[in-house]
């Protein structure tokens, strides 16, 4: 049996509650260590989750020579900095979305990965789900004809008033936090970034967007609308409109068994549901195969850069009230 890859986790973030059980199910991976900003918190967390090693700083975690892969679930504004530091320490990185806040940060990540011979990929779970595979298959088979337009939404009620998502200085705002999902989905379908965008935002009292609507024009005159928000009960959707039919999903970004995928082609309608699948496990398998077999991750840094540039352009448009060409 091949020796397992040892992982380290940067921080004790809440999202780890889903990631750690998935990591422990992966046959080629092993959770080796966790790092926190304090030794006391790291020790407490390691005991709770039965993690062999713990460190009282992120730098100490990266200095562990046994760690091969880093999971980075830090707040948005720290993603680029600590992903680059992990690359410089010779570690592969699975970084939570959004991987960066500017295209220049993505360029710096790509340079650090290239210079140190490591793999970096952004953690979009939907890219690894069977539902997404069926969507792409249906499009490639021409079942809905030529893609004319798309519409995607991700909204939820962020009720914690001190959450870092409300803070401009930590990369907060609904567009970067959840709007990145429909933007990434549209980029996956088109295979290209948009040519032009226009954004509308509503600002919260803290100065970040709590509701954002974007209009995007892609090559081939494909028109897309995205909606993101922090002030309504959770709602997710993605619709793809073609010349012969459409694809509709009520759980596009993290499908559950109760969610439906509907493919309408002419007069025929197919309804699909899927058994529970741990998409965290899909992310882990993807980077593991990239490391061990030299495959390209499903989410490339080129695609991450396009999505980041798109969000920056949308925010610029919302601020200026003018369309922005990419």
Residue 201 contacts residue 141 (beta carbons within 8 Å): no
pLDDT digits (tens, 9 = 90+) for 74-123: 999 999 999 999 999 999 999 999 999 999 999 999 999 999 999 999 99
**Cα separations (Å) of 234 from 136, 153, 156, 157, 191?**
25, 10, 4, 6, 28
Tell me the two tokens of residue 13: 């973030």
3-state SS assignment for residue 202: strand
Cα 198–202–206 angle (5° rounding)?
130
Q: Cα–Cα distance between 146 and 179 in angstroms, integer?
A: 25
Per-residue pLDDT at 2 exceeds 70:
no
pLDDT tens per residue across span 211-251:
999 999 999 999 999 999 999 999 999 999 999 999 999 99
**Kindly report the CA angle at 62 between 51 and 37, in degrees rounded to 5?**
70
Burial (CB count <10 Å: 0-12, 13-18, 19+), residue 141: exposed
Measured N-to-C along each axis, helices 16-25 and 279-293 cross at an angle, to the nearest 10 degrees, of 50
Give the pLDDT band of residue 287 (cuts 50, 70, 90).
very high
Please give the pLDDT value at position 3.
85
Q: Domain 5-123 is in which class? A: alpha beta
- CATH code of the region 126-280+307-325: 3.30.360.10
C-alpha torsion 10→13→18→23, nearest 10 = 10
The pTM score is 0.96
Per-residue pLDDT reduced to its tens digit, 32-85: 999 999 999 999 999 999 999 999 999 999 999 999 999 999 999 999 999 999
Q: Which helix (H) or strand (E) holds 196?
A: strand 196-203
Span 153-180, mean pLDDT? 96
pLDDT at residue 309, as a whole number: 98
Distance, CA of 19 to CA of 300 (rounded, Å): 21
Which of 98, 103, 320 lies closest to 197, judged by CA? Answer: 320
Domain ranges in the chain are 5-123, 126-280+307-325
């Amino acid at each position: 049996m091949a020796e397992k890859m040892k992982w380290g986790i940067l921080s004790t973030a809440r999202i780890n509650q889903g990631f750690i059980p998935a990591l422990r199910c992966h046959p080629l991976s092993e959770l080796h260590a966790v790092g926190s900003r304090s030794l006391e918190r790291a020790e407490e967390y390691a005991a709770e989750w039965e993690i062999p090693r713990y460190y009282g700083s992120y730098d100490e975690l990266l200095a562990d020579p046994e760690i091969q892969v880093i999971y980075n679930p830090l707040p948005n504004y720290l993603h680029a900095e600590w992903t680059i530091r992990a690359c410089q320490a010779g570690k592969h990185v699975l970084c939570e979305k959004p991987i960066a806040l500017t295209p220049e940060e993505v360029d710096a990540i790509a340079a650090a990965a290239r210079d140190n011979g490591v793999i970096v990929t952004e953690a979009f779970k939907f890219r690894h789900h069977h539902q997404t595979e069926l969507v792409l298959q249906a499009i490639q088979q021409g079942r809905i004809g030529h893609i004319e337009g798309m519409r995607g939404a991700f909204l939820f009620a962020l009720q914690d008033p001190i959450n870092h998502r409300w803070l401009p200085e930590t990369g907060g705002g609904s567009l970067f936090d959840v709007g990145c999902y429909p933007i990434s989905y549209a980029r996956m379908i088109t295979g290209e970034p948009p040519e032009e965008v226009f954004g509308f935002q509503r600002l919260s009292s803290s100065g970040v967007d709590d509701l954002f609507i974007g209009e995007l024009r892609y090559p081939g005159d494909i028109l897309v609308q995205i909606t993101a928000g922090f002030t309504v009960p959770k709602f997710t959707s993605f619709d793809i409109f073609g010349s012969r039919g459409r694809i509709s999903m009520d759980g596009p970004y993290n499908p559950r068994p109760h969610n439906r995928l509907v493919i309408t082609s002419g007069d025929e309608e197919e309804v699909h549901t899927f058994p529970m699948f741990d998409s965290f496990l899909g992310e882990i398998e993807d980077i593991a195969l990239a490391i061990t077999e030299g495959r390209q991750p499903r989410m490339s840094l080129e695609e991450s850069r396009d999505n980041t540039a798109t969000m920056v352009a949308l925010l610029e448009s919302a601020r200026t009230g003018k369309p922005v060409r990419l």
